[in-house]
């Protein structure tokens, strides 16, 4: 179609191309199985097809969409593919995509209540729905951030504020009136916690990583001992991060015992349940967040296992006042006359905030809580089936319990005990599986052992996909 106005797409043209794009999305989701999950390109392969400088004149949407298909699509790693099993397997579901489209259309900036009352009030409501779905206490109030890493940073900023040493005003550097702050987490904790410590001036030295036990859960005796030792050595223990669903193995830290220590030592308890927390929506899996009702802050990511397109992380705290005390800073141009309204700009670093609650609202309403539970159960069932197959195969070994929907294992043929050799073989298996384009896997290390991870969490994944994956892994292993 001719672009009548060179500088601005008119609504009729939007209608035409919008329909094309929605058709494209529907076909994409229908045929997603047909794409290679992993593009298997060399670095620079996409870039070299793109012009170095921007177009001076308006380009037609047909040409842009054609280039999308021709250049961009072949370089996509398909996270929405049912055999994407790397990192955490996720889904940008249809209702979430529609919510995302509308939020782009509205282009709301939800920084103040008045900059879109619906954005603020829907965020409050939808986060309270999610809180109820998780069975968390009603004094947990939530805010949506872009990602789990940001939620961890914001939560730990509140923890730092809670020591009441006016760090906000005076900073940490050069102060003789504050001992060095110590933050505890396990050696399985996500790297974003250490990054938060870097940003907050606590430093990597201020993060004490507590050893994990044979099931990759934080060792409580070691935590207690570390706190005692640190106090004697003049540190100020101020926070513990417990994880529900660690990144590598999805282990679940003993939160009730950690909460006891936090209570005794007056430390802030932050629970990082970015992936695993969502499992608590399933009644028989509610136990995964045992003790989290005692947390000072808690994060879970709808963009990980709740079928919400990236990005959407839900951060809860029972100390919203402390959180706002850490961040609220209102220049003249952002003062408002509404009185006591919730201005979400006070809850974190961001001023400009996308209308993310809309897609989460669409997802929760369109699936319904029962629908969500059905899918989560199925993912765990599939993980259990795969774990069963692995445990029955003599030359493979499971490397961690499977409490949720991620399976950790390796090929371990008889007679090979050298860890380096096992690493070479297993990383080779992953590379060779990925090169087929039929499935995409990633790895981790568990207590020094190179580990293949299969994460299950996509709505389109069926038993057929898992069976096909298992055959593929065995076939690639047989090449060694
Ligand atoms: C336990 C845990 N916390 C935090 C994060 C970071 O989340 P995001 O990728 O949303 O920043 C991850 C990511 O995998 C995670 O597994």
* pLDDT digits 0-9 by tens, 157-206: 999 999 999 999 999 999 999 999 999 999 999 999 999 999 999 999 99
344 with 374, same domain?
no
What does the DSSP 8-state code read for residue 204? G
- Tens digit of each residue's pLDDT (9 = 90 or more) over 340-373: 899 999 999 999 999 999 999 999 999 999 999 9
**Tokens found for residue 221:** 């005796």
**Domain termination site, one of 354, 384, 404:** 354
Q: Cα of 165 to ligand 1 centre, how many Å?
A: 29
For residue 460, being part of any structural domain is answered with yes
User: Which domain CATH number covers 438?
Assistant: 3.90.1150.170
Element containing residue 209 per DSSP (H, E): strand 207-210
Residue 17 has pLDDT above 80, yes or no: yes
Q: In Å, what is the CA distance from 309 to each residue of 166, 180, 256, 316, 358?
A: 38, 40, 32, 20, 11
Residue 313 in contact with ligand 1 by CB distance below 6 A: yes
| 55: helix, strand or coil | coil
Q: Which of 303, 336, 354 is the last residue of a domain?
A: 354
Domains contained in the chain, number? 2
In this structure, is residue 3 part of a structural domain?
Answer: no
In the prediction, which pLDDT does 92 show? 98
Is the domain of 217 the same as that of 256? Answer: yes
Distance in angstroms (rounded) separating the CA atoms of residues 324 and 350? 12
- 334 and 403 both lie in a single domain: no
Output phi, psi for 182, to 5 deg: -125, 130
287/378 same-domain check: no
Are both 348 and 374 inside the same structural domain?
no
Phi-psi sector, 243: left (phi>0), alpha (psi -120 to 50), beta: beta
- Residue 244, domain extent: 109-354
- 243 within ligand 1 shell (Cβ under 6 A): yes
Q: Are 171 and 201 in contact (CB under 8 A)?
A: yes
Q: Is residue 163 part of a domain?
A: yes
* Mean pLDDT of the region 269-291: 98
Cα 199 to chain centroid, rounded = 19
- Whether 326 maps to a domain, the answer reads yes
pLDDT class for 40, splitting at 50, 70, 90? confident
Tokens 């003249």 -> residue: 332
Distance between Cα 278 and ligand 1 center (Å): 13
Q: Is pTM, for the whole model, over 0.85?
A: yes
CA–chain centroid gap for 24, Å, is 27
Q: Ligand 1 center to residue 148 CA distance, Å?
A: 5
Looking from the CA of residue 146, the nearest atom of ligand 1 is 10
Q: Are residues 126 and 150 in the same domain?
A: yes
Please tell me if the CB atom of residue 249 comes closer than 6 angstroms to any atom of ligand 1: no
Size of the chain in residues: 480
Question: Can you tell me whether residue 148 is helix, strand or coil?
Answer: helix
The predicted structure's pLDDT at residue 7 = 73
Choose among 464, 302, 452: nearest CA to 382: 464
The pLDDT of residue 12 is 95
Evaluate whether residue 208 is within a structural domain: yes
Do 319 and 283 have their domain in common?
yes
Q: Would 78 be classed as within a structural domain?
A: no
Contact by Cβ (8 Å): 160, 181 = yes
Residue 236 and residue 309 in one domain = yes
149 lines ligand 1 (CB under 6 A): yes
What is residue 6's predicted lDDT score, i.e. its pLDDT? 59
Looking at ligand 1, which atom is closest to the CA of residue 245?
A: 1
- Nearest ligand 1 atom to alpha carbon 87: 14
CATH number for position 283: 3.40.640.10
* Gap from CA of 232 to ligand 1 centroid (Å): 33
Say yes or no: 190 and 314 in one domain.
yes
Q: Are 122 and 258 members of one domain?
A: yes
Ligand 1 atom closest to the Cα of residue 88 is 14
H helices of 77-161, in order, are: 94-106, 117-134, 148-161
Inside any domain, residue 103: no
227 falls within a domain: yes
Of 316, 335, 354, which residue sits at a domain end? 354
Instruction: Looking at the structure, tell me whether residues 192 and 328 fall in a common domain.
Output: yes
Of all protein residues, whose CA lies closest to atom 5 belonging to ligand 1? Answer: 148
Residue whose C-alpha is closest to residue 439's, from 407, 461, 422, 459: 461
- C-alpha to C-alpha distances, 208 to 89, 183, 443, nearest whole angstrom: 30, 6, 25
230 lines ligand 1 (CB under 6 A): no
Whether residues 380 and 350 share a domain: the answer is no
């Amino acid at each position: 179609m001719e672009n009548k106005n060179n500088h601005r797409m008119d609504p009729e043209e939007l209608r035409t191309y919008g329909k094309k794009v929605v058709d494209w999305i529907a076909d994409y989701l229908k045929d997603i199985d047909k794409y290679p999950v992993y593009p298997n390109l060399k670095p620079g392969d996409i870039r070299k097809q793109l012009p170095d400088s921007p177009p001076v004149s308006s380009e037609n949407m047909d040409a842009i969409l054609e280039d999308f298909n021709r250049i961009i699509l072949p370089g996509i790693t398909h996270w929405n593919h049912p055999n994407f099993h790397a990192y955490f397997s996720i889904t940008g579901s249809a209702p979430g995509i529609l919510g995302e489209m509308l939020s782009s259309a509205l282009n709301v900036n939800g920084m103040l209540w008045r900059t879109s009352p619906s954005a603020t009030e829907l965020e409050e409501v939808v986060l309270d729905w999610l809180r109820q779905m998780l069975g968390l206490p009603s004094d947990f109030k939530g805010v949506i951030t872009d990602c789990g890493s940001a939620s961890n940073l914001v939560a730990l900023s509140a923890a730092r504020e809670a020591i009441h040493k006016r760090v906000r005003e005076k900073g940490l550097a050069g102060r003789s009136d504050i001992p060095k702050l110590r933050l505890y987490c396990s050696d399985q904790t996500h790297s974003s916690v250490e990054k938060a410590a870097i940003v907050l001036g606590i430093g990597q030295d201020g993060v004490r990583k507590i050893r994990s036990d044979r099931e990759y859960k934080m060792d409580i005796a070691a935590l207690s001992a570390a706190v005692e030792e640190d106090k004697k050595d003049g540190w100020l223990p101020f926070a513990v991060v417990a994880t529900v669903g660690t990144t590598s193995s999805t282990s679940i830290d003993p939160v009730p015992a950690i909460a006891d220590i936090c209570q005794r030592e007056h430390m802030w308890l932050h629970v990082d349940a970015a992936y695993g927390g969502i499992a608590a929506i399933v009644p028989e899996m509610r136990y995964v967040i045992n003790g989290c009702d005692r947390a000072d802050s808690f994060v879970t990511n709808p963009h990980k296992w709740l079928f919400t397109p990236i990005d959407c992380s839900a951060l809860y705290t029972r100390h919203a006042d402390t959180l706002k005390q850490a961040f609220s800073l209102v220049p003249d141009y952002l003062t408002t006359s509404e009185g006591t309204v919730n201005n979400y700009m006070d809850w974190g670093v961001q001023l400009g905030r996308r209308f993310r609650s809309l897609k989460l609202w669409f997802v929760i309403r369109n699936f319904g809580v029962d629908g969500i539970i059905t899918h989560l159960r199925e993912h765990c069932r599939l993980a259990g089936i795969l774990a069963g197959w692995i445990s029955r195969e003599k030359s493979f070994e499971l490397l961690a319990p499977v409490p949720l929907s991620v399976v950790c294992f390796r090929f371990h043929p008889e007679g090979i005990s050298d860890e380096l050799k096992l690493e070479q073989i297993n990383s080779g298996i992953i590379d060779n599986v990925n090169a087929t384009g039929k499935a995409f896997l990633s790895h981790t290390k568990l207590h020094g052992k190179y580990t293949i991870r299969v994460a299950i969490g996509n709505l389109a994944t069926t038993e057929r996909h898992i069976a096909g994956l298992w055959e593929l892994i065995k076939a690639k292993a047989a090449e060694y």
